[in-house]
C-alpha cells in the first residue's frame, strides 16, 4: 500500500512540476531489529526516495521502479540523513531542505482509542507551528479506508490550490486502481466538471462584430468626424476628411499599377504622415502591406522582397539609396502621392473579403529563416473591435505610434485611434530607442494611451515623469511583465497597466489581463484570458487539457487567425 500511494504521489508531483525525476522524503522508524522494538528513544531517520518517470511507462512499471528504489533505501536506512547530505554536498538554500522538498508518510499501524470508565476519549491531532517542508502528505489506515492531511507552505500556495491538488491525487489513484497497466501519459487528473471549465467555460469568447475591414471602419469614422484631427506629426496635422481623401486617391493610383486583392505591396518607409496614408491606401486598393524597416540589414531586406513576391515596392525618396542592390522597380512614394493628388474623389473601392490578406509581417528569424505571417482582414478587424470593446478609446484620446511598423505591435497603434475618432500621434523616427525622447513626447503631445515592451517601460521609468500627467492606460507586451514593474508604473504615472500576450500568428494579441493595484512581488503579471473569438488551451504532450496548476503547452485557436 505504501508503495502504491507513493507512486501515485510521485506521478502527481511529476505532472505539477513538469519533471521526470522526482525525489520524495519519507520517515522510517529505524527499529528493524527485535531488540529495539521495546526501547524508549528516538530512532527515526529520513529516506530520500528517488524515482525516474521517463519513458511511456505504465503505472505497473512505475510501481516496480518505486519498489526497487524503496527496498534499496531500506537496506541503507541506518545511514543518518544528515550524513547523506554531508557526503553529497548539494547546493544549500535557506528557503528549502536539501535533496527533497516534499514529504510522504503512511502510518500503517493500528490506532486504538483507549477505553476509560466514565470518560469519553477521542484522538487529538497535534498541529505544527512551523511547516518543515514545502509539501507534506501524511496518510493513515482507518477502518473505512485512508485518512490523512496535507501541510504546505502558505507563502507558496493558496488553500484552494492545495484542495485541488488533493482531489487530483484522489483522481490519479482512482485511475490507476481501475487499470494498473494504463500509461502514465493517459492518466487523467481532470474530472468532468473541471474539464468542462478549462475547455468550454474559459473559452466562451464568441462576440458578434461586424465583419468589415478596418479601412471600411475608418471611412465610417471619417464620415462621423470629418473635421477632427486624425493624425499629427511635428507641426503637420491631417483631419479625418483629409486622410480619407488622400488615401482614396493613392489607392486608385495603386490599382492602376495592378494592386488588388491578395497583391502584396512592400513599403520601405520611415515614420511620417505619408506612411499612414500609404498603409490605408494599400488596404483600400485591396492589397496587403509588407513593412520593410529601413534599419534592417540589406540581406534581410533582399530576402523579404524575394520571399514575399510583392507586386509593388513603394519607397520614400530619402531612403532609395538604402535599398539593396537588385531591388526591382521601386516606386517613389512621394511621386505617387503627387500623381494621385490630381484624381477626383470617386468612391470606387475594390471589394475585399474577410479572408483576404491585410498585411504580411515577418518573424525575427532568430531560430532560422524569417517566416512571413499573412494576417487576414477578419483577424485584424476582430482584434481592433475587441480592443475597442475591452479598453475603449474616445475622441479625447491621443495614442502614440512609436513601434517600428515591421513589428505587429505597431498595427494596433496605427488603427485603433483612427477607428474611433481619437488622434494618432507619430513619434519622431528612432524615438523608440531613447526613453528621454519618449518621455518628452508623452508630455508635449498630451498622450493618454501608449504601449511598451516591459524593458523599454522600465527604462522610461528612470526618466523624470513629473510632467507626464495625461497617460491613463499603458499596454505592455512582447515580454513577460514583472509585477513589480507594473506596480512602479502605476505609481509613477497613475495609469492602468494592461498585460497583453500573443504571437504574430494570432494577430497581435491572444490574451489580456489588467495588472491589479498592489500586485507587487517577484512574480509576473498573468497573461490573462483569451480575447474575443480566440480560444486558449493548455495541453499536455498528448494534446489533452491539463488541470489548473499543471503546466503544459499553450495552444491558441479560432476561426480568424493568420496563415502562412
Report percent pLDDT > 90 for the chain. 71
pLDDT at 295 over 60: yes
Q: What is the pLDDT of residue 93?
A: 84
Give the least confident one: 273-277, 479-483, 519-523.
519-523
Arithmetic mean of pLDDT, 232-257: 95
Q: Write a three-state SS string for 389-456.
A: HHCCCCCCCEEEECCCCCCCHHHHHHHHHHCCCCEEEECCCCHHHCHHHHHHHHHHCCCCEEEECHHH
DSSP for residue 506: G
Position 519 confidence tier, pLDDT thresholds 50, 70, 90: low
Q: Which three cell numbers stand for residue 506?
A: 494570432
pLDDT digits (tens, 9 = 90+) for 215-228: 999 999 999 999 99
Give the least confident one: 107-111, 121-125, 345-349, 441-445.
345-349
Q: Which three cell numbers stand for residue 358?
A: 491585410
Beta strands in 63-156 (DSSP E): 102-107, 135-142, 145-152
Spell 285-311 as b/e; 16+ CB within 10 A means b. bbbbbbbbbbebeeebbbbbbeebebb
For the chain, the distance separating the N- and C-terminal CA atoms, rounded to the nearest angstrom, is 54
Q: Which three cell numbers stand for residue 497?
A: 497597466
Q: What is the pLDDT of residue 563?
A: 62
State whether the Cα torsion 356-409-293-361 is positive or negative. Answer: negative
Most confidently modeled range among 129-143, 437-451, 512-526: 437-451
In this prediction the pTM is: 0.86
Distance CA 422, CA 400 (A): 11
Arithmetic mean of pLDDT, 139-144: 87
Give the least confident one: 181-195, 390-404, 459-473.
459-473
Position 369 confidence tier, pLDDT thresholds 50, 70, 90: confident
Query: Percentages helix, strand, coil for the chain, rounded to the nearest 5?
Result: 35, 20, 45
Q: Which residue has the higher pLDDT, 126 or 450?
A: 450
Phi and psi at 431, nearest 5°, equal: -65, -25
Q: How many angstroms from the chain centroid is the CA of residue 208?
A: 25
Of 482, 477, 488, 480, nearest in space to 452 by CA: 477
Cβ contacts of 517 within 8 Å, gap of 6 or more: 487, 490
DSSP for residue 183: B
Q: What is the pLDDT of residue 365?
A: 65
Distance CA 291, CA 300 (A): 12
SS3 (DSSP) at 473: strand
SS3 (DSSP) at 523: coil
pLDDT digits (tens, 9 = 90+) for 260-286: 999 999 999 999 999 999 999 999 999
Phi and psi at 205, nearest 5°, equal: -120, 10
Q: Which residue has the higher pLDDT, 152 or 94?
A: 152
Q: What is the pLDDT of residue 345?
A: 58
Q: Which three cell numbers stand for residue 285?
A: 486598393
State whether the Cα torsion 526-528-534-538 is positive or negative. Answer: positive
pLDDT digits (tens, 9 = 90+) for 426-449: 999 887 788 888 899 999 999 999
CA angle 537, 543, 548 (to 5 degrees): 45
pLDDT at 124 over 90: no
Position 108 confidence tier, pLDDT thresholds 50, 70, 90: confident
Q: Which three cell numbers stand for residue 527?
A: 497573461
Q: Which three cell numbers stand for residue 11?
A: 506521478
Q: Which three cell numbers stand for residue 289?
A: 502591406
Q: What is the pLDDT of residue 464?
A: 81
Of 217, 519, 151, 195, nearest in space to 352 by CA: 217
pLDDT at 111 over 70: no
Q: What is the pLDDT of residue 169?
A: 97
Q: Is the separation of the CB atoms in 314 and 267 below 8 Å?
A: yes
Average pLDDT, the chain: 91
pLDDT at 125 over 80: no
Cβ contacts of 220 within 8 Å, gap of 6 or more: none
Distance CA 439, CA 462 (A): 10
State whether the Cα torsion 235-236-240-241 is positive or negative. Answer: positive
Q: Which residue has the higher pLDDT, 167 or 368?
A: 167
Position 128 confidence tier, pLDDT thresholds 50, 70, 90: low
Q: What is the pLDDT of residue 176?
A: 96
Q: How many angstroms from the chain centroid is the CA of residue 96?
A: 29
C-alpha pair distances (Å), 464 with each of 441, 442, 453, 468, 493: 13, 12, 19, 9, 11
Phi and psi at 191, nearest 5°, equal: -85, 170
- Alpha helices by DSSP H, listed for 43-155, are 59-74, 81-88
Cβ contacts of 504 within 8 Å, gap of 6 or more: 361, 363, 373, 375, 408, 562
Q: What is the pLDDT of residue 95?
A: 80
Q: Which three cell numbers stand for residue 321?
A: 539609396
Cβ contacts of 541 within 8 Å, gap of 6 or more: 185, 553
Amino acid at each position: 500500500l505504501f508503495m502504491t500511494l507513493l507512486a501515485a504521489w510521485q506521478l502527481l508531483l511529476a505532472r505539477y512540476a513538469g519533471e521526470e525525476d522526482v525525489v520524495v522524503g519519507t520517515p522510517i522508524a529505524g527499529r528493524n531489529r527485535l531488540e529495539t522494538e521495546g526501547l524508549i528513544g528516538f530512532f527515526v531517520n529520513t529516506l530520500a526516495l528517488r524515482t525516474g518517470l521517463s519513458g511511456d511507462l505504465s503505472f505497473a512499471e512505475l510501481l516496480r521502479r518505486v519498489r526497487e528504489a524503496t527496498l534499496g533505501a531500506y537496506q541503507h536506512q541506518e545511514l543518518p540523513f544528515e550524513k547523506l547530505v554531508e557526503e553529497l554536498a548539494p547546493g544549500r538554500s535557506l528557503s528549502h531542505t536539501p535533496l527533497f522538498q516534499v514529504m510522504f508518510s503512511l502510518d500503517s499501524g493500528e490506532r486504538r482509542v483507549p477505553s476509560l470508565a466514565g470518560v469519553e476519549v477521542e484522538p487529538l491531532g497535534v498541529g505544527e507551528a512551523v511547516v518543515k517542508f514545502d509539501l507534506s502528505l501524511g496518510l493513515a489506515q482507518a477502518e473505512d479506508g485512508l485518512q490523512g492531511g496535507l501541510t504546505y507552505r502558505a507563502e507558496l500556495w493558496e488553500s484552494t490550490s492545495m484542495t485541488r491538488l488533493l482531489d487530483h491525487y484522489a483522481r490519479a489513484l482512482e485511475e490507476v486502481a481501475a487499470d494498473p497497466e494504463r500509461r502514465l501519459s493517459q492518466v487523467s487528473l481532470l474530472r468532468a466538471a473541471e474539464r468542462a471549465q478549462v475547455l468550454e467555460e474559459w473559452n466562451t469568447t464568441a462576440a458578434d462584430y461586424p465583419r468589415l475591414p478596418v479601412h471600411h471602419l475608418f471611412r465610417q469614422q471619417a464620415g462621423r468626424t470629418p473635421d477632427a484631427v486624425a493624425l499629427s506629426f511635428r507641426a503637420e496635422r491631417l483631419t479625418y476628411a483629409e486622410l480619407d481623401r488622400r488615401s482614396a486617391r493613392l489607392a486608385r493610383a495603386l490599382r492602376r499599377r495592378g494592386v488588388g486583392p491578395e497583391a502584396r505591396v512592400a513599403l520601405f518607409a520611415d515614420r511620417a504622415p505619408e506612411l499612414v496614408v500609404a498603409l490605408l491606401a494599400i488596404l483600400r486598393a485591396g492589397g496587403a502591406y509588407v513593412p520593410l524597416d529601413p534599419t534592417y540589414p540589406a540581406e534581410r531586406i533582399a530576402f523579404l522582397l524575394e520571399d514575399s513576391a510583392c507586386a509593388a515596392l513603394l519607397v520614400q525618396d530619402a531612403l532609395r539609396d538604402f535599398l539593396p542592390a537588385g531591388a526591382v522597380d521601386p516606386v517613389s512614394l512621394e511621386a505617387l502621392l503627387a500623381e494621385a493628388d490630381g484624381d477626383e474623389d470617386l468612391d470606387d473601392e475594390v471589394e475585399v473579403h474577410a479572408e483576404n490578406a491585410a498585411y504580411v509581417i515577418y518573424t525575427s528569424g532568430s531560430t532560422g529563416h524569417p517566416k512571413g505571417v499573412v494576417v487576414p482582414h477578419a483577424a485584424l478587424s476582430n482584434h481592433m473591435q475587441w480592443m475597442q470593446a475591452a479598453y475603449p478609446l474616445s475622441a479625447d484620446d491621443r495614442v502614440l505610434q512609436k513601434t517600428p511598423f515591421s513589428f505587429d505591435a505597431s498595427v494596433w497603434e496605427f488603427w485603433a485611434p483612427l477607428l474611433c475618432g481619437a488622434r494618432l500621434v507619430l513619434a519622431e523616427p528612432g524615438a523608440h530607442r531613447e526613453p528621454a525622447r519618449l518621455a518628452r513626447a508623452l508630455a508635449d503631445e498630451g498622450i493618454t494611451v501608449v504601449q511598451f515592451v516591459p524593458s523599454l517601460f522600465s527604462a522610461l521609468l528612470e526618466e523624470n515623469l513629473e510632467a507626464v500627467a495625461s497617460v491613463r492606460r499603458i499596454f505592455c507586451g512582447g515580454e513577460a511583465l514583472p509585477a513589480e514593474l507594473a506596480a512602479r508604473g502605476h505609481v509613477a504615472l497613475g495609469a492602468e497597466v494592461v498585460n497583453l500576450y500573443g504571437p504574430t500568428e494570432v494577430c497581435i494579441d491572444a490574451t489580456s489581463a489588467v495588472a491589479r493595484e498592489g500586485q507587487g512581488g517577484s512574480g509576473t503579471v498573468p497573461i490573462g484570458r483569451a480575447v474575443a473569438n480566440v480560444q486558449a488551451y493548455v495541453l499536455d504532450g498528448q494534446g489533452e487539457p491539463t488541470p489548473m496548476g499543471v503546466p503544459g503547452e499553450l495552444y491558441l485557436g479560432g476561426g480568424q487567425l493568420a496563415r502562412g
